[in-house]
Amino acid sequence: MISIKQVLWLTTLYVLYYGLSGCSLQPSLDQSPTLYSESDCHNYLTEQYHQRSQEYTLDQQTQPVPHYPYVRINRLLASYIYTLDSKPRRSTWLAQAYQETNKAWKIDIANLPKSYQARHGQKIDSCLKQSFNHLLNDDQFFSTLRKFRYPEAYISWRQWAGFYPLTQYFLVPGIAAWHKETTQHFNQINAKALRNTAIYQPHPYTSSAFPLNTSTIQHWFNQAYQSNALQLPTLKPEQLQKLFHHHAPVWAINHQGDYDIPGKVVLTPQPTVRPQPVTYTLTSMTRFHGKTLLQLNYIIWFKERPANGVLDIYSGNLDGIIWRVTLTEKGTPLIFDSIHTCGCYHTFFPLSEKLQAKQITNHLEPPLIIPVSSPNVDHSARWRITISSAEHYIIGIKQLASNVSSLATAKPYTLLGYNELRSLSLPSKKRKSLFDQEFGIVSSTERAERWILWPSGVPSPGAMRQWGNHATLFIGQRHFDDPYLLSRLFRWK
């Protein structure tokens, strides 16, 4: 028979055991991460990826590598897979791939229930670090990688099911008319539009708002190119922050209603835009003329594109513009280009006469190129981007005087990272991406034009979509994040 002392002793042991077990679920941040076997991590991460994929909770900004689906890369990284012939190059590539992969997993986990985060968050983090360390010497991984083909942002079967070789010719007149009208009326802004224009400039009192001179920027770029075996312009976060502010545009938006106020994207739970002037920022890179060049992307969102009549097939919830600044290896602007956040209306603005468009034959949808080259281009000056009301077309760009630090009537806007859109707070306090897993499209932003343009192969033409999913042609195939985009369209004289 058990005595009272024995009962008390067993009870004490029981409490101590479960108390310590409970503490072990929340280890100290100072503890070393748990080590797992290579095969255990590979199988575990693969299983977690497929489970998240089946439940449609994966972020779509990057794509998985076959047989190693927990490794997620973008088009730039995919463009280097045939050149990873040395350990330094492989190490640089893996470091960049880890950044993209780790970011995607953290976003995926943040959008899942707290119970999943507590159960899997630490192991996923540890296994990702271990797995990437092993991949450096994994020849099988790099052999598999060389067979990888980055998926297109098009649905090919729709082109053939819609008799695309024939129906594409019906799109040519509309595209040609847009090119002609845009070119003829560009920078011809009437007095009435100017009176109703709201000006937005980057906030002049942020920590990153201080003058940058050409020599400082060039020094940053020289260091960045020399810091890695792939010669990528990988600037430090604080340098990027200052560079983003340095090249941030002044938005001049013709204002006729609330739909012309750029704002912050929120989920209510449907996506909408709160009238709080912000511009989202994102870096990308392009490979041109033997160099990999840094690109600064600035994205503004509007609550809607209002209907211009009963049969307006382009109207709908949310609208937005991406303004991209491509910098030379010295950090000076080379070319601007822009699309709407649906991938439509791609326009190029070369800043140098040495940048010449290639002759593209047998192409029914040539690029729209509006040169703004001038011997007086000041690389330290801001540019004013003029945007029309409602349709939110870019109808003019103008270089401002370099000594103009502020505009009397301008409203300040803040810069926010684009990654915030990949994990937004819901009224229920849960989190969700602005973008759906299927093609990275923003739900509730579908346009009626999709019924006419579906033979183009573009998923839901006119709908807003996530970075990495912007198909920019209705006739043929082209992607906004294609690292060879400039090389395909331009040559250096």
Percent of the chain with pLDDT over 90: 72
Number of other CB atoms surrounding residue 161 within 10 Å:
12
pLDDT over threshold 60, residue 45: yes
pLDDT value for 402: 62
Looking at the predicted structure, is the pLDDT value of residue 83 above 60? yes
Query: If you average pLDDT over residues 103-109, what whole number do you get?
Result: 97
More confident residue, 97 or 33: 97
- Residue 234: its pLDDT value, please? 96
Q: What is the pLDDT of residues 422-444, one digit of tens each?
A: 999 999 999 999 999 889 999 99
241 part of a folded domain: yes
Which residues make Cβ contacts (< 8 Å) with residue 275, sequence separation at least 6? 258, 261, 263
User: In this predicted structure, what is the pLDDT of residue 5?
Assistant: 36
Which are the contacts of 265, defined by CB distance < 8 A and separation ≥ 6? 271, 272, 273, 274, 301, 318, 421, 424, 434
Q: Are residues 235 and 105 in the same domain?
A: no
In 123-244, which ranges are E strands?
197-202
Q: Which residue has the higher pLDDT, 492 or 16?
A: 492
Rg for the chain (alpha carbons), in Å?
25
| Model pLDDT, residue 375 | 61
pTM for the full model?
0.90
Examine the pLDDT at 99 and tell me if it is beyond 90.
yes
Q: Name the domain boundary from 145, 179, 213.
A: 145
Let me know whether 141 and 173 are in one domain: no
Pair (138, 162) in one structural domain: no
pLDDT of residue 69: 97
User: Does the structure show a pLDDT above 50 at 3?
Assistant: no
Tell me: do 369 and 267 sit in the same domain.
yes
How many distinct structural domains can be found in the chain? 2
Does residue 3 sit within a domain?
no
Tell whether 451 and 326 lie within a shared domain: yes
With H, G, I as helix, E, B as strand and everything else as coil, classify residue 486.
helix
Cis omega before residue 269 (within 30°)?
yes
pLDDT at 93 over 80: yes
pLDDT of 95 over the 70 cut? yes
pLDDT in tens, 156-173: 888 777 666 777 778 888
**165 and 137 housed in the same domain:** no
Q: How far apart are CA 453 and CA 243, in angstroms?
A: 39
Q: Which of 28-32, 122-126, 153-157 has the lowest mean pLDDT?
A: 28-32
Q: Can you give the pLDDT at residue 182?
A: 92
Whether residue 252 sits in one domain with residue 373: yes
Mean pLDDT of the chain: 89
The mean pLDDT value for 439-461 works out to 93
| 120 and 166 in a common domain | no
19 lies in a domain?
no
Residue 191 in this model has a pLDDT that exceeds 60: yes
Residue at a domain's end among 94, 110, 145: 145
Q: What mean pLDDT comes out for the span 284-300?
A: 97
> For the segment 141-156, what is each residue's pLDDT rounded down to a tens digit?
999 999 999 999 999 8
pLDDT computed for residue 163 by the predictor:
63
Shared domain check, 242 and 108: no
Over range 205-224, report the average pLDDT: 89
Lowest mean pLDDT among 46-55, 205-214, 464-473: 205-214
* Average confidence (pLDDT) over 174-195: 84
Domain that holds residue 110: 34-145
Last residue of a domain, one of 98, 113, 145: 145
Q: What is the Cβ-side half-sphere exposure of residue 382, based on CA atoms within 13 angstroms?
A: 22
Q: 160 with 238, same domain?
A: yes
Cα dihedral 179, 184, 187, 189 sign: negative
More confident residue, 29 or 1: 1
Ramachandran class of 362: left when φ > 0, alpha when ψ lies in -120 to 50, beta otherwise = left
